Amino acid sequence: MKINIFNVTGILSPSNEQMHISYSFYIKDITNLRFSFDYNPKQLNNEQEAKAIITKCLNKYTEISQEEIEDSWEQYLPIKNLLTISVDDPYMFRGAAHRQPSNNVICIEEQKATEGFVKGKIVDGYWKITISTHAIVTESCVYKLEVWTESCDE
């Protein structure tokens, strides 16, 4: 049976890029945790807006000429939003999901955990999930984070 612990939805814009958003929740007497994290849209579909972003980044981080930028910017398409999550229990770091696609479901329990996370006892206390906003290239990006407990085999 699924028992909800924490749910949140948020809307981000490019001004929220390169920041960390942390949420804490209290748990007691459970044996496993599941986290679902999703965000949309995945990528910027407007080619002119994408070209402007790519050109700005190439000018900032490279020394290639404007002619080379004009000839090569399309190789960087599509450009994508990138949000990642990390999890901490009351005492230690328990893992991170820095992967595409954006729809990530993570399981942590005493004997096993999703790749990138540390298995172990689900200790009582305040846990923290941090969303890192590495890139937000669309006008808005909606995320949803859900935390619950149930058997990881269900």
Supply the pLDDT for residue 103: 63
Q: What distances in angstroms separate CA 11 from CA 16, 45, 46, 62, 112, one per listed residue?
A: 9, 18, 20, 31, 32
Average pLDDT, the chain: 93
Indicate whether 89 pLDDT > 50. yes
pTM beyond 0.85: the answer is yes
Using CA atoms, how far apart are residues 48 and 67, in angstroms rounded to an integer?
Answer: 17
Supply the pLDDT for residue 1: 84
Instruction: Report residue 141 CA to chain centroid gap.
Output: 12
CATH for 3-43+80-85+92-149? 2.60.120.380
Using CA atoms, how far apart are residues 41 and 142, in angstroms rounded to an integer?
Answer: 7
Look-up of token digits 């699924």: 2
pLDDT tens for residues 93-138? 999 988 766 566 899 999 999 999 999 999 999 999 999 999 999 9
Using CA atoms, how far apart are residues 22 and 19, in angstroms rounded to an integer?
Answer: 10
Picking from 110, 60, 66, the residue whose alpha carbon sits closest to that of residue 89 is 110
